[in-house]
Amino acid sequence: MPFDFRGKKVLVTGAGKGIGRGVAIALNKAGSKVYALSRTKSTLDSLVDECPDIIPIVADLCGWEDTREKLEKIEVLDGLVNNAGIGGHDYDAVDCPKEYIKHILDNNLLSAINCSQVVAKKMIEAKVKGAIVNCSSTGSLAAFPKGLPYNVSKAGMDMVTKQFALELGPYEIRVNSVNAALVSTPLVQSLIERGTLSENTFSSRMPMGRILTLEEIVDPILYLLSEHSAMVTGQMHVVDGGCMSNITVKV
Ligand SMILES: NC(=O)c1ccc[n+]([C@@H]2O[C@H](COP(=O)([O-])OP(=O)(O)OC[C@H]3O[C@@H](n4cnc5c(N)ncnc54)[C@H](OP(=O)(O)O)[C@@H]3O)[C@@H](O)[C@H]2O)c1
């Protein structure tokens, strides 16, 4: 879908691989100045090889203070995509260790709060009418085997979206989430390889009969960042091929 982000400045977290990388490239093509934050330098290097205008930031979002320091140095932004996230599907709920749960919440949930605080404060001070998009999941809406920490992190993210939308609305800063079902990315490939999930489990529940392509989640993220969604805020935008509307196992 053609979007025009000329003159805009957007930070994408977890931009080294998967959805974040797709969003960073699409924003770059649409004319935005893009700050791409990720943990592993080599993936950002290859992103910059592909799109030399993109500005890389190597950071581990689990480091609260280090992340704040790095983000404080960036200019005022128009948009933020809180995309960085990891899977957390190693334990049944009754066996899941405290440190494991804390790590997933730190990585997937607290990181988004931290980035939103720094970026939104600067937007408020500069009177910028910005937009924040959080990458949640259908896992925030329904349980999945061994999904306790991941799904709780995403359910928490949905409330982060609503809470920030409420408090930032008066400054005309919008906050929404995309809640995708399964998208083919390195994260999903690793879960499939480990036998944690199968593509067929999801696609057979989807009225659309297949999992999402990268573009099919990137476009909704750009829509929510763009002025095309000027009065949309505090929303969980479910992008799931109809999966969550269906109670049958096989469509
Ligand atoms: N794929 C799906 O089906 C799906 C569905 C619903 C929601 N989501 C959500 O969408 C987001 C992206 O998923 P994806 O499938 O694109 O994942 P992915 O392929 O694993 O890519 C995630 C990216 O985030 C980075 N990252 C993770 N934790 C980080 C941290 N603490 N600090 C900095 N960077 C970090 C990773 O860095 P490294 O290169 O160092 O690993 C990687 O570049 C996640 O929040 C995920 O929960 C995905």
In tens, the pLDDT along 110-157 reads: 999 999 999 999 999 999 999 999 999 999 999 999 999 999 999 999
Mean pLDDT of 28-49: 98
224 lines ligand 1 (CB under 6 A): no
List beta partners, residue 135.
178
Q: Please measure the distance between the N-terminal and C-terminal CA atoms of the chain and give it in whole angstroms.
A: 29
Selecting among 33, 146, 154, 223, the annotated active-site residue is 154
Interhelix angle 98-105/148-168, nearest 10 degrees: 40
Is residue 168 very low, low, confident or very high in pLDDT (cuts 50, 70, 90)? very high
19 lines ligand 1 (CB under 6 A): yes
> 127 alpha carbon to ligand 1 midpoint, in Å?
30
DSSP run (H or E) holding 239: strand 236-239
More confident residue, 249 or 63: 63
114 lines ligand 1 (CB under 6 A): no
Least confident residue range of 94-98, 163-167, 170-174, 242-246? 242-246
187 lines ligand 1 (CB under 6 A): yes
**Annotation marks residue 150 as catalytic:** yes
85 lines ligand 1 (CB under 6 A): yes
The CATH number fitting domain 9-245, selected from 1.10.10.10, 2.30.29.30, 3.40.50.740, 3.40.50.720: 3.40.50.720
Classify residue 142 as left (phi > 0), alpha (psi -120 to 50) or beta. Answer: beta
Asked if residue 204 has pLDDT above 90, the reply is no
Closest Cα to atom 37, ligand 1: which residue? Answer: 39
Is residue 203 very low, low, confident or very high in pLDDT (cuts 50, 70, 90)? confident
Percent of the chain with pLDDT over 70: 99
* pLDDT computed for residue 201 by the predictor: 80
Model confidence over 48-67: pLDDT tens digits?
Answer: 999 999 999 999 999 999 99
Model confidence over 89-122: pLDDT tens digits?
Answer: 999 999 999 999 999 999 999 999 999 999 999 9
Is residue 212 very low, low, confident or very high in pLDDT (cuts 50, 70, 90)? very high
Selecting among 35, 150, 171, 250, the annotated active-site residue is 150
Mutation test of ligand 1: which of 48, 150, 187, 212 has the most ligand atoms closer than 8 Å to its C-beta? 187
* pLDDT computed for residue 251 by the predictor: 58
| Euclidean distance between CA atoms 199 and 197, whole angstroms | 7
The rounded Cα 100 to chain-centroid distance in angstroms is: 21
* pLDDT computed for residue 202 by the predictor: 82
**Annotation marks residue 154 as catalytic:** yes
Mutation test of ligand 1: which of 83, 107, 109, 224 has the most ligand atoms closer than 8 Å to its C-beta? 83
HEC secondary structure over 1-47: CCCCCCCCEEEEECCCCHHHHHHHHHHHHCCCEEEEEECCHHHHHHH
The mean pLDDT value of the chain amounts to: 96
- Report which of 224, 220, 214 is spatially closest to residue 20, judged by C-alpha positions: 214
3-state helix, strand, coil in the chain (%, to 5): 50, 15, 35
Q: What angle do CA 59, 155, 132 make, to 5 degrees?
A: 50
30 lines ligand 1 (CB under 6 A): no
Asked if residue 236 has pLDDT above 90, the reply is yes
